[in-house]
Structure 1
Amino acid sequence: MNILVHGAGALGAYFGGRMLEAGVDVSFFVREKRAVQLKREGLKINSPEGSFETKDVTVCTSPEAVKNIDLVILAVKGYHLDQVVPQVQTIVQQTGAFVLPLLNGVEHLETLQKAIGKEKVIGGFAAIIATLNEQGHVEHTNANSTMKFGALHDEQIKICEKLEEIHNLIKTNIVREENIMKHIWKKYMYITAFSGITSAMQLPAGYITSTEASFNVARNVIFEMYMLAQKEGISIGEQEVESMASRLKGHSKEATSSMHQDMRKGLSIEVEHLHGGALRLSAKHDLNVPVIETLYGVLKPYESGKPSVM
């Protein structure tokens, strides 16, 4: 199976790098600047799951140059989606490849399905806390990592079976799920709370539980997202929701979300893709989500990086 990882930020470089390490045929579709950096610095992963480094990285910068690809793993930020959709369309038209998006949230699934067809878009997401250092190398900071995926259409079953086969070769968890939409929503619920509270507080995870008031903000986001999931027809048990809220207390004191890491660096953040998306869905169902709405208002000025002083 030939895989193209579209995007070589921390997420794409990590999972693509792990596949390279295992001998899977992987190439990367990146911008010119990142292509130069990868050729100069190579791909390097610093991780509790084991470090890896290689200079043998195949990169593409033009969609027309992509050939013989079975699967595209789309590993870009939500705010880049509109920009990359035409590239994905070209690649799929040329190769017939399936697309596995690892974006946060849920709105991107419909966007991609409209662009390339429902039969081509596999459900999936990744769970990892990682960032790139100045050399463009991956700094993976939590204890483990997971990529989950599953078919959303019968035509995707065979490619999902092929991807599942490489699980035992790779130093990360690649897990196939039958009800992938439920798992996508559980990730969406959790990351909206965790990224929202750490970024709004501009403090790492240890401070979430430093006061009951701070913890309750994050917990209430999870329950608002739970109500929204129910409106969307996603069946999640109350015990699963309580367990999710308890997980907020399980992070190390220094751990934080990728959104907060981006905010610290003055980079763009996914507030529109996560919290904005939740508000659009809640409006569709006439559902009131005041805590999410408040976090959205607090974080919106940072959407394109640190706001300048007026």
Structure 2
Amino acid sequence: MNILVQGAGALGAYFGGRMLEAGLNVSFFVREKRAAQLTKEGLKIISPEGNFARKEVAVYTSPEQVKNIDLVILTVKGYHLDQVIPQVQTIVQQTGAFVLPLLNGVEHLERLQQVIGKEKVIGGFASIIATLNEQGHVEHTSANSAMKFGALDNEQADICEQLEEINSHVKTNLLREENILKHMWKKYIFITSFSGITSAMQLPAGFIASSEASYVVAKKVIFEMNTLAAKEGIALTEYEVESMANRLKGFKKGATSSMHQDMRKGLPIEVEHLHGGALRLATKHDVMVPVIETLYGILKPYENGKPDCL
């Protein structure tokens, strides 16, 4: 299987690197600046799951360059989706590849399906806490990592089976899920709460547990998101919802969300993709989500990076 990872931030570089490490044919589609960095520095992973380095990696910067690809793993941030959709469309038209987007949230599925066809878009998401250092190397700080995926159309069965077979060869978890939409929603619910509260506090996750008031806010986001999930036909048990809420208290003191990491660096954040997406669903179903709306209002000024006045 020939795999193209579109986007080589911490997420794409990590999972793409793990597949390279396992001997798979993996290339990267990136912007010019990142291509130059990868050419100079190579791809390097620093991780509890094992370090890895590869000096030379295959890099594309134009969709017309891409040939003979079976699977595109889309790992860009939500705020880059508009920019990359035409590129994805060209690549799929040229190669017939399936697309596995690892974006947070759920809105991107329909948008991609409208452009390249429902049969081409596989469901999936990733679980990892990682960032890029100044050299563009991946610093993976959580104890483990996982990429979960599953078919949303019968035509995706073969490609999902091939991806599932890779799991035993890589130093990460590539896990196939039968009800991938439910798992995507569980991730969406949790990250909307976790990223929202850490970014609004501008403090790491340990302060969720140490401040009851902050924990209550984060927990209410989970309950509001669960209401939206139910309206979208995703049924979660009371135990599943409470487990997500309890998980908020289980992080190490210094751990934090990727959104909070981006905010501290003055980078754009995915507030529109996560909290904004939740508000659009709330409008669709005529549901009130006051805590999410409040977090959205607090974080919106940071959407495009550090505000000029700071």
> Could you state the TM-score of these two structures normalised by the residue count of structure 2?
0.99
Q: What is the SS of the residue equivalent to 2:149?
A: strand
| SS of aligned partner of 2:210 | coil
Q: Which residue of 1 aligns with 2:103?
A: 103
Aligned to 2:288: 288
Aligned-partner SS, 1:287: coil
The within-5 A match list for 1:98-247 is 98-247=98-247
How far the C-alpha of 1:56 sits from its partner, in A, is 2.1
**1:78 and 2:78 equivalent?**
yes
Summarize the alignment of residues 29-48 of structure 1 with structure 2, pairs less than 5 Å apart: 29-48=29-48
Shift in Å at residue 209 of structure 1? 1.1
**SS class of match (1:166):** helix
Q: Secondary structure at the match of 2:3?
A: strand
- Give the letter for the 2:178 counterpart: E
Equivalent residue number for residue 250 of structure 2:
250
* CA displacement at 1:235 relative to structure 2: 1.3
Q: Give the equivalent residue in structure 2 for 1:267.
A: 267
Q: Deviations over 1:37-56 (max 9, x none)?
A: 00100100000111100112
Distance 1:102 1:211 in 2: 32
* Matching residue's letter, 2:189: M
Deviation by residue 1:200-236 (Cα, 9 ceiling, x = unmatched):
0000001011111110110100010001000000011
Instruction: Give the 4+ runs in structure 1 shifted more than 6 A.
Output: none
CA distance, structure 2, for counterparts of residue 230 and residue 264 of structure 1: 34
Q: Which amino acid aligns with 2:140?
A: H
Amino acid at match of 2:106: V
In the alignment, the residues of structure 2 paired with residue 236 and residue 59 of structure 1 have an alpha-carbon distance, to the nearest angstrom, of 41
2:12 aligns to what? 12
TM-superposition CA deviations, 1:163-207 (whole Å, max 9, x none): 000000000010000000000000000000000000000000010
Deviation (angstroms), 1:246: 0.5
Q: Deviations over 1:131-168 (max 9, x none)?
A: 00000000101100010000000000000000000000
Q: Which residue of structure 1 aligns with residue 67 of structure 2?
A: 67
- Structure 2 residue ranges without an equivalent (≥5): none
Matched residue count: 310
- Superposed CA deviations along residues 236-261 of structure 1, whole A, max 9, x for unmatched, are 11100000111111110000000000
How far does the alpha carbon of each residue in 1:13-45 deviate from its partner, in whole angstroms, 9 at most, with x for none? Answer: 000000000001000000011001001001000
The residue type equivalent to 1:261 in the other structure is Q
Partners of 1:250 and 1:209 lie apart in 2 by: 8
Per-residue deviation at 1:111?
0.4
* Whole-angstrom CA distance in 2 between matches of 1:91 and 1:161: 22
How far apart are the structure 2 equivalents of 1:246 and 1:227? 18
Provide the C-alpha distance between the structure 1 equivalents of 2:134 and 2:87, rounded to a whole number of angstroms: 27
Distance (whole Å) between structure 2 residues aligned to residue 9 and residue 178 of structure 1: 28
The CA distance in 2 between the partners of 1:94 and 1:131, in whole Å, is 32
- Structure 1 unaligned blocks of 5 or more: none
Question: 2 CA distance for matches of 1:217 and 1:174?
Answer: 33
Q: Secondary structure at the match of 1:104?
A: coil
Q: Residues of 1 paired with 2:25 and 2:221: CA distance? A: 40
> What residue is the counterpart of 2:306 in the other structure?
306
Structure 2 distance, partners of 1:139, 1:183, is 26
Which amino acid in the other structure matches residue 256 of structure 2?
Answer: T
Q: Equivalent residue of 2:182, what SS?
A: helix
Give, in angstroms, the shift of residue 286 of structure 1.
0.3
